[in-house]
Amino acid sequence: FYCMKFIVSILLTGVLALVAGLFTQFPWWVFAISSFVVSALITQSPGKSFLSGFLGLFLLWVILAIIKDAANEHILSTKVSQILPLGGSYIMLILITGIIGGLISGFAALTGAYLKKTS
């Protein structure tokens, strides 16, 4: 049962972030609010809440970045990764993008878990 809640939390975090990001006019960071809400509604330990928030958004952003990046044959991401100290690796750029989004989402989910724990 706990594993099912974890998987549902990951999927719900990703789906809500996708819907909020693509189909609304909210700013890019709206996924943090959706991660917070998912974590506040689905009771899990703070560690599992953080991990589910992180994984939900990390997977979403990496998949979307790969799809968008493949459409232009990695030209833009390669140039951006040459500006940054990544040695021209577009894969590292995509992973770092996913990690940054995942951390923001994970901390928002952690906040939701702690809020639920205190009430």
pLDDT at 84: 93
- pTM, two decimal places: 0.91
> What's the pLDDT tens digit per position in 82-118?
999 999 899 999 999 999 999 999 999 999 999 988 8
Element (H, E) at 33: helix 30-41
In whole angstroms, what is the distance from residue 61 CA to residue 92 CA? 13
Sequence-distant (≥ 6) Cβ neighbours of residue 75 within 8 angstroms:
none
pLDDT at 81: 94
In whole angstroms, what is the distance from residue 76 CA to residue 60 CA? 20
Does residue 103 contact residue 54 with C-beta atoms inside 8 Å?
Answer: yes
